[in-house]
Amino acid sequence: MKPTDILKEEHHGVKLALKVLGRINERIAANPGALDAAYVSDCAKLLDFFRVFVDKCHHAKEEEVLFPALLESGLPREGGPVQAMLAEHDTGRRLVAEMYAALADYRSGTPGAVTDLAAAAQRYTQLLVNHIATEDNILYPLADAGIPQPVQDGMVEAFEEIETDRIGLGTHEQFHAMLKEFKSAYLK
Ligand SMILES: [Fe+2]
Ligand SMILES: [Fe+2]
């Protein structure tokens, strides 16, 4: 398996999580006065997925392994796609923090929290959908073609190390099981 195949596979999970996030937000917004503990708890679980799996694991694989290899293969450090992707990762982190804050406000009954949550979720979704399309269609093909095979093999090993070190063994599988449950609960 190529390193970019692993990342693309992870993108599928991220896109599924974004769809569920949209659905949960619709349900919270449909009845903003009545706090539904189940939706709030599922939303919090999704935010943990974005913070832990997407940022600590997927983005770390890109920032610490893929992007350096792309720069090594000749892509510009500044003004190129790598810099643009890094900036989008930063924006994503900020939006996840905004969603956590809005969810906490909603839990404590702050007026307007539902609107803030929906707005941040919408911006995050738009950002990530475009980001994933750019990586899948532009950046990853550049990696497949430009990074020497032995380096690509080493990248797969480095991905495994990141996964074990940063999120721990089994966490990836736990998140996948959660997404599978959410898929059947929210996306039927
Ligand atoms: Fe990325
Ligand atoms: Fe990515």
Distance 20 CA to ligand 2 centre (A): 18
Ligand nearest to the CA of 132: 2
C-alpha torsion 114→118→120→122, nearest 10:
180
Could you read off the pLDDT tens digit of each residue along the chain, which spans 188 residues? 999 999 999 999 999 999 999 999 999 989 888 888 999 999 999 999 999 999 999 999 999 999 999 999 999 999 999 999 999 999 999 999 999 999 999 999 999 999 999 999 999 999 999 999 999 999 999 999 999 999 999 999 999 999 999 999 899 999 999 999 999 999 98
Domain containing residue 182: CATH number: 1.20.120.520
Q: Could you list the residue range(s) of the whole structural domain that residue 116 is in?
A: 3-186
| Block residue for tokens 């797969």 | 156
Distance 116 CA to ligand 2 centre (A): 25
Number of helices (H) and strands (E) in the chain: give both, helices first. 9, 0
Rounded CA separation 5/32 (Å): 40
Distance 42 CA to ligand 2 centre (A): 23
For the chain, how many structural domains are there in total?
Answer: 1
Helix 3-30 / helix 113-134 crossing angle, nearest 10 deg: 160
Task: Report yes or no on whether pTM surpasses 0.85.
Answer: yes
Ligand 1 (ion): residues with CB under 5 Å are: 62, 85
